[in-house]
Structure 1
Amino acid sequence: MSRPLRLEYPGAWYHVMNRGLARQSTFLDADCYSAFLDTLAEAHRRFSVQVHAYCLMGNHYHLLLHTPEGNLSRAMRHINGVYTQRFNRLQKRDGPLFRGRYKAIVVEADSYLLSLTRYIHRNPVETRTPLVASLQEYPWSSYPAYLNKARAPEWLYRDFTYEALGRRDKYRGYKAYVEQGVDEELAEFYGRQRKYSVLGSEVFRERLLGGDKLVSAEVASRELVVRPPVSGENLVEQVAQVFGCSPAEILARSRPGRKGYNPARSVAMWLCQDRAGLTLPQIARLFGGIHYSAVSQSVRRIKTRMAEDEELQSLVDRVSRGVIVRCNA
């Protein structure tokens, strides 16, 4: 049997799904759900993937993703691979978690974005036995954030959906829209045993599936700015600016016998790994030729501190925003 068609281009939108191997559970407790959301956040930072809606069910997930850089495969390798590692550590198991490659449906966002968010968000009540009496009570989807009933993570993009809704009272309006139920066209599309790889009009499908030339024309017609890779040196400069120190203070190797916590240095190391994709040995060379195990320990400690220290997390968020602005300037 042939593999599902993969269509990737800058600016593409996708409905991405995956199930547990042999329908096994992929989320067993709150720690598992939180670990997956952490992995989504990392994919956003590392690959510029925008998450517009999500719903995590017991043995599968739904994501609505936008890829300005046309790099869905790389982002999904991170999401599925890293989450599997975290799930295995949490559950003290090993081996594969998902049934195989994720399924990605390319979406014509102008026509289907709004209705697709509704389809994704209604999953907890569209099961044979509804998981909750009221959708906004389900904590593992983006729906409560869409209603402003839960804090929206910085990587969740809601404005596109609100604009498509076109209602002045966006929270109440979106709630009323979702409560209307899934429309017949989408119900028929997702009810097919063998689904198309494209959700869109005939013109949209022909443009994507008509051959390499037509796909290239689709890409060429979009005025997109692809974010260039972030260098370790640029990240160090940005950290120094936010933390009020010099790049030299961050990069300098500590003198023998000198001990002390340097959050700017640790944050810069972590961002070099998370945002620039540098390996531990590469980071070790950049930060004074230290041993790569020291980098690993420093990164692990700063991630723990960020989870406990809101002020530190706020500084890190400022660094990330500054890097994005500078790269897109």
Structure 2
Amino acid sequence: MPRPERIEYENAYYHVMNRGKDRGRIKIFRSPEYFEAFLRTLKEAAERFGIVIHGYCLMTNHYHLLIQTPHANLSRAMRHINGVYTQRYNQLAKSDGPIFRGRFKSILVDQDVYLLQLSRYIHLNPIEGKKPLVDNLADYPWSSFPAYINQADKPAWLMCDEIYGLLGSKQKYSEYARYVAQGNNEQLTRFYNRGNTASVIGEKEFVKWLSENKIPKLKENKKANLIIPFGLSIEQIVKNTAAYYQKPVTLLRQLKKGRNSQSTERKIAIYLCQHLGDHRLNAIADYFGLGHSGSVSHITCLVRNQLSKDIELTNEVAEVCKFIVNQVT
């Protein structure tokens, strides 16, 4: 059976979920290090793709996200989140291979009616199972709930104001805590408890608007989107990276054998093919003469780690990015 197409448009809202492989038997978060690595990945995705994260809850074997996409790019952003976190998980666990069950699930949300309810549903996860993880929901550190009620520092990339606005109260922290303590809406609970595979949660008017207005327009634009792909090509990125460093393109593409034989310029070019162009790992591997997509993952992971520690390299890569963008716009 073919996979259903995702409905993606500017400023859409989604409840996004994924769990570990083997029907969730695999723990995707083993310890605080893993949770922190995922949150770092969320931060990077928000900065890189411009997604707005309205809430999250990370459980041992799955996660929930409440995401808005100003740029209609849910699939690109989630491919980054799941892909980069898989790299970081494997680095921490000294393992290899996929950790998720497969394609993430996303439910398009009628924000006027269900956004507030879904934020509550997501935040209640730690105490809704057969074995609650905490007695007090505010004590669960891997959810955005403590930040929502001012019991933890709010990350800069977490947007709470829209949810607060839906409450309509000046006492936003205490009012949100009270709202969540009321428990989930019965209708919403039934929707999820029956293993609903629907891709939309909304009132009849919202569903009608999607089917009669939004989806036909999206289908009309689909051909144009295929002809004019989003982002920069691998060739553009490498050509302009080489120009920045005043090196020939052939030098950046040249594969040299041996430990630490890859030049800094080549590693940065490989990293930017993923960072700026969001190209698939196997396409990058083919272009640079690497035998396996895992080699690309290894190089991009090394660069990412260096960037987290080396401010000079961070500034250098930012200048390369600026140079590339200026050349193609």
What TM-score, normalized to structure 1? 0.70
Q: Secondary structure of the equivalent of 1:63?
A: strand
The AA in structure 2 aligned to 1:301 is Q
1:193 CA displacement: 2.4
Q: Secondary structure of the equivalent of 1:106?
A: strand
CA distance in 2, matches of 1:74, 1:95: 20
Given candidates 154, 157, 165, the residue that maps to 1:155 is 157
Q: Secondary structure of the equivalent of 2:177?
A: helix
Match of 1:139 in 2: 141
1:297 CA displacement: 7.2
The 5 Å alignment of 1:8-47 reads: 8-22=8-22, 23=24, 24-47=26-49
Match of 1:304 in 2: 309
1:204-224 deviation digits (Å, cap 9, x = unpaired): 1133245xx64255899xxxx
Q: What is the RMSD computed on CA atoms of the aligned residues? A: 3.8
With over 3 angstroms needed to count, the CA separation of the structure-2 counterparts of 1:88 and 1:163, relative to structure 1, is same
Match of 1:204 in 2: 206
The 5 Å alignment of 1:22-171 reads: 22=22, 23=24, 24-171=26-173
- The 8 Å contact of residues 48 and 67 in structure 1, kept in 2 or not, is answered as yes
- The 8 Å contact of residues 51 and 64 in structure 1, kept in 2 or not, is answered as yes
Seq. identity, %? 46
With over 3 angstroms needed to count, the CA separation of the structure-2 counterparts of 1:141 and 1:131, relative to structure 1, is same
- The answer for unaligned runs of 5 or more in structure 2 is 221-229, 233-243, 247-267, 285-298, 320-329
Given candidates 194, 197, 218, the residue that maps to 2:196 is 194
1:194 CA displacement: 3.3
CA distance in 1, matches of 2:108, 2:205: 14
1:150 CA displacement: 0.9
The AA in structure 1 aligned to 2:100 is F
1:153 CA displacement: 1.0
CA distance in 1, matches of 2:214, 2:158: 31
With over 3 angstroms needed to count, the CA separation of the structure-2 counterparts of 1:296 and 1:177, relative to structure 1, is closer
CA distance in 1, matches of 2:214, 2:69: 19
With over 3 angstroms needed to count, the CA separation of the structure-2 counterparts of 1:218 and 1:111, relative to structure 1, is farther
CA distance in 2, matches of 1:66, 1:298: 29
